[in-house]
Chain A
Amino acid sequence: MKRSTKAAKLLGKLGGETKSAARANASRLNGTKGGRPRRRAEELLEEIPPILGPTLELINQLELEGIIQKPTIGGSVAIMYYAQPVKTDDLDMFCYMPNRTLLIDLGPIYKRLEELGCKIKDLYINIRGVDVQFLVPANQPLVEEALENAAAVTIENVKTHVFEYEYALAVKAEAGRAKDWAHILTALESADPNKEKLDAILTKYGLLEKWRRKIEE
């Protein structure tokens, strides 16, 4: 229903009520008086500066330069992509390095980002205002499989990859810290994973029993 029609209805012109509350609501909808006019969420988002967009653009640049391969959002932000938001401090970017050796050297990533004006803070690197941690799978078959099956998405007009929900949950379960389980429980309250797929992943990596003990108890 159009805003003006809704406002007219509230004012009784189309058979609605004419209480003072209805008049106040109508004036808000029309934007004439009685506070700010109500705005749609999409309109509001257009005015908000992008949060992750510039960060992801720079990370994609690293991929183009051949420093990293297939950067993929994992961790809490990946779960948040599918479930309700929870507080987290950093963005976990999983990726491959071009030369896959036993010893993983993140030096080239940090060196290039410093050249591009990013600041290193402890384990994290601040890329365009967002604290990012790069994680390269080292003998972690679950993470490698999650990377292989990552979904291609567009976030704030930037193309990137994000772990599928079931893999993001399984990687969290594998990490197994108290805060990881707390986050899993919060996520499961708001979005249901594909149970068959999740069970298959958990079974494959020997996590099903642990999962049942923690989640289904």
Chain B
Amino acid sequence: MTNYQSVRSNEEIYKGKAEARKKRAAEPFERKLLALVRMQMMDYSIARSAGRTTRRPWHSEDKDRMKKYANAR
């Protein structure tokens, strides 16, 4: 149990999230592609661990490349 109380109101949080989305949309397309491949990797590993079949991420046959994508910040 905690007595921690957020100093930000819900409205402020929603506003912050909306701003973050707009910022994400304004990023270079190459960076968004990287985010897309990382989402595919995450989806694939979740599906695999849950025993579901799913499509493999792009470039999944190139292990070195996948490592670079996974480590990118």
**Docked CA distance A42–B13 (Å):** 29
Return chain A residues, CB-CB under 8 Å to B36.
51, 77, 80, 85-88
Chain B interface mostly: helix
Contact of B72 among A44, A82, A87, A155 (CB under 8 A): A44
B40–A84 contact, CB under 8 A?
no
When A and B form their complex, what is the total count of cross-chain residue pairs whose Cβ atoms lie within 8 Å? Answer: 76
A residues with a Cβ closer than 8 A to B are 41, 44-45, 47-52, 77, 80-89, 129-131, 155-156, 189-191
Distance A190 CA – B24 CA, assembled complex (angstroms): 8
Is the CB–CB distance between A87 and B29 below 8 Å? no
Q: How large is the interface on B (under 10, 10 to 19, 20 to 34, 35 or more residues)?
A: 20 to 34
Q: Are B21 and A190 interface neighbours, CB within 8 A?
A: yes
- Identify 9 new A-B residue pairs, CB closer than 8 A, beyond the known A84-B25, A131-B55: A48-B30, A48-B72, A51-B30, A51-B58, A80-B29, A80-B32, A81-B29, A87-B43, A129-B65
Q: Of all chain B residues, which has the CB nearest A55? A: B58
17 contacts between A and B (CB under 8 A): A45-B28, A45-B31, A47-B68, A48-B30, A48-B34, A48-B68, A49-B65, A51-B30, A80-B29, A80-B36, A84-B32, A85-B33, A89-B40, A129-B61, A131-B55, A155-B29, A190-B22
